Structure 1
Amino acid sequence: MFWFNQGLCALPVFLVIWSSCTFIVPYLIAIFRGDVDVVFPYISDTGALPPESCVFGMMTVITACAGIATIYARYKYVEKLSEETNVVSPKLNKVAFWVGIASCLTMCIVATFQETTVTKVHDIGAVLFFFCGVLYTVLQSIISYRAYPYGSSMAVCYVRTVMATIAFLALFPTVICASFVNQTRLHRNPLDKDYPYYMASAVNEWIVAFSFICYFLTYIHDFKMFTLRVKTEYEEDS
C-alpha cells in the first residue's frame, strides 16, 4: 500500500497542494496579463480582475471545502484520542474546531467580495480569515503538546509551534502596515509614501498564508492512523 493510501493522509496532502495552487495560479495569470506587479502584490490583488478573479474564487471555494473536511477529521481524531486517554479537554477541541471552520468560511468571503469592488467586506473577511487561521494553529499546537505522547511526536509538536509562531508574528505587521496603505491601485509606485508599508504588509501576508497552509503538512502522519466512516440508520414508520 502506498503511503498516501493509508488512513486519511491524502486529505491534508490535497489541501496543501490545492491551496498552494489557489494562491500561485491566479498570481501567474495576473502576472502574464500584466494586472499586478511582479514583486509581492497582495494575494487579493492577484484575484481582483477577471479572468484570474474567476479562477481564484472557484479554487478558493474548493480549498475551503477541503479545509473544513480536514479540520473536521482532525477534530474527530482528537475527540477519539481524548475518549481513550482523557489528555485533551473536549471544550478546547471544540473551540479549535469552530475557529478553524470560521477561517474556512471567511476565506470564501475574501474570494467572493473582491477588494476593488466591495472593499470593506473584503477587508473584514481577510482580517477574520488570517486571525482565525493563526488562532487555529496556536490552539492545535497546544492540543498537540497536551496529547503527547499519545498523538504526534515531540518533533512534530516543535514544528507546529514554529509554524504557528511565524504566522502569529507575521500577522501583526500584515494588519498594522495595511492600515497605513491608502493606495487602492493594483500597480504600486515605489515613490509613493505608503509604499514601504505596502511592501511590509504584502510580504508578511504571504508569510502568514503559507505558514497556515504548511501547518497542515504536519497532519499527514497523524492522518495515516485513522479513518472516518459514515453510518446510515433507517427508521421505519411505526
Structure 2
Amino acid sequence: MEIRGLAFLPVTWTLWGLWGLYVLVILTVISGHNHKPFISDTGIQPPESVVYTIVFMVLSILGPGVAFLQYKFMLHRSEPAEKSFVIGQRVLFVIGWIIAIGTSVNAIYSVKNNPLAHRIGAGMGFVGTAIHNVCQAGLLYKTSYSSRLMCHIRLAAALGTIVILVLFAVGMGSFYCELCTGRCAEIFYLPVLVSEYVGFCGLTLHQLTSYTDFQSLTLTVSRKGVTISLREKTEDPENPP
C-alpha cells in the first residue's frame, strides 16, 4: 500500500487542536463554570474536563507523528556529509517527543488536581513547540520546497509567537507572585488571556506552513515494513510524479 502526500497528518493535527479548543471554551462558558477561561481552566470541571483530556491526549499522539515526518523530510533533503545539520534534526526530533510527553501530562493532570504537574506539562508543550518551530523554520530555508516568501513568513510567525508567549508568561508570573493584584489584575487579565489563545493558535497553525513539504512525502507499507520516501517535486503541481 502506498500513500502519496502526507500533508493530511499536520492538517489533522492543526484542525483537531483548534476545533478542540473551540469546543472546550464553548462548553466552559455555556456550563457557567467560567466566562473568561484560560485554556487550563477549561479542564477543571466536567463535562469539559473529559473533553480536555481527550483533545490533548490525541494531540500528544499526533505530535510525534508530525515530528517524525519533519525529521524524515529534512534527512532526505540534506547531504550525508552535513553532520551538524543531521545532529540538529535529531535534537529537534527529541524535542518533539518531549513536547508529546508534556502534552500528555498536561492532559492527565488538571490545574485543580495537580497544578504543579499540569503547569510543568503545559510549559514543556508550549515552550518546546515554540523552540521547535523557530529552529525548524530556520533550517527549512535550505531544504524546504516552499517559496522564499513562505520561509520568511514561517520564521516571522514562529518568532512572533514566542514574543506573545513571553508576554503571557510575564503576565501569569505576575499573577502567581501577586505582583499584580486588585485593579492591576483586572486591567491585565484580558490581555494576558488573549495572548495565551493567540500563542496557542500560532503554535498550532504553524504546521500548515510546511504543507508543500509534507505533500512531497510518500508512505509505503510492504512486507519489509513501513518506508517514508521523498518524491521529487515537479513544475506542475497538478501532475505530481
Could you tell me the TM-score, scaled by structure 1's length? Answer: 0.84
Quote the residue 2:9 is aligned against: 11
Unpaired stretches in structure 2, ≥5 consecutive residues: 226-241
Shift in alpha-carbon separation, 1:227–1:135, aligned structure 2, 3 A: same
Tell me the CA shift for residue 200 of structure 1: 3.1
Unpaired stretches in structure 1, ≥5 consecutive residues: 184-189
CA contact (8 A) 2:4 2:219 kept: no
Quote the residue 2:151 is aligned against: 157
User: In the TM superposition, what are the counterparts of 1:12-51 in structure 2 within 5 Å?
Assistant: 12-37=10-35, 39=36, 41-51=37-47
User: In the TM superposition, what are the counterparts of 1:104-123 in structure 2 within 5 Å?
Assistant: 104-123=100-119
- Answering whether residue 198 of structure 2 is matched by residue 198 of structure 1, we say no
Query: Aligned partners of 2:130 and 2:201: how far apart in 1?
Result: 11
User: In the TM superposition, what are the counterparts of 1:79-90 in structure 2 within 5 Å?
Assistant: 79-83=75-79, 86=82, 89-90=85-86
Quote the residue 1:186 is aligned against: none
Quote the residue 2:199 is aligned against: 208
CA contact (8 A) 1:180 1:197 kept: no
- Answering whether residue 174 of structure 2 is matched by residue 176 of structure 1, we say no
2:174 is aligned with what amino acid?
A: F
Residue-pair matches, total:
221
Query: Aligned partners of 2:81 and 2:210: how far apart in 1?
Result: 20
Q: Deviations for 1:152-193, whole angstroms, at most 9, x for unmatched residues?
A: 32122112112101111012111111112149xxxxxx9654
Query: Aligned partners of 2:143 and 2:78: how far apart in 1?
Result: 8
Query: Aligned partners of 2:205 and 2:13: how far apart in 1?
Result: 10
Query: Aligned partners of 1:197 and 1:231: how far apart in 2?
Result: 56
Quote the residue 1:54 is aligned against: 50
Query: Aligned partners of 1:121 and 1:155: how far apart in 2?
Result: 40
Query: Aligned partners of 1:193 and 1:116: how far apart in 2?
Result: 24
Q: Deviations for 1:67-92, whole angstroms, at most 9, x for unmatched residues?
A: 21111111111111114795971011
Query: Aligned partners of 1:81 and 1:211: how far apart in 2?
Result: 26
Could you tell me the TM-score, scaled by structure 2's length? Answer: 0.83
CA contact (8 A) 1:173 1:200 kept: no
Q: SS where residue 179 of structure 1 aligns? A: helix
CA contact (8 A) 1:104 1:129 kept: yes
CA contact (8 A) 1:88 1:143 kept: no
Quote the residue 1:187 is aligned against: none
Query: Aligned partners of 1:29 and 1:163: how far apart in 2?
Result: 30
Query: Over aligned residues, Cα RMSD in angstroms?
Result: 2.5
Q: 2:64 aligns with which of 65, 68, 85?
A: 68
Tell me the CA shift for residue 224 of structure 1: 1.2
Shift in alpha-carbon separation, 1:11–1:88, aligned structure 2, 3 A: farther
Q: Deviations for 1:206-234, whole angstroms, at most 9, x for unmatched residues?
A: 11111111101112111111113356559
Percent identity (aligned):
24
Q: Which has the larger share of strand?
A: 2
Q: SS where residue 17 of structure 1 aligns? A: helix
1:19 is aligned with what amino acid?
A: G
Shift in alpha-carbon separation, 1:159–1:85, aligned structure 2, 3 A: farther
- Answering whether residue 209 of structure 2 is matched by residue 218 of structure 1, we say yes
1:28 is aligned with what amino acid?
A: I
CA contact (8 A) 1:137 1:164 kept: yes
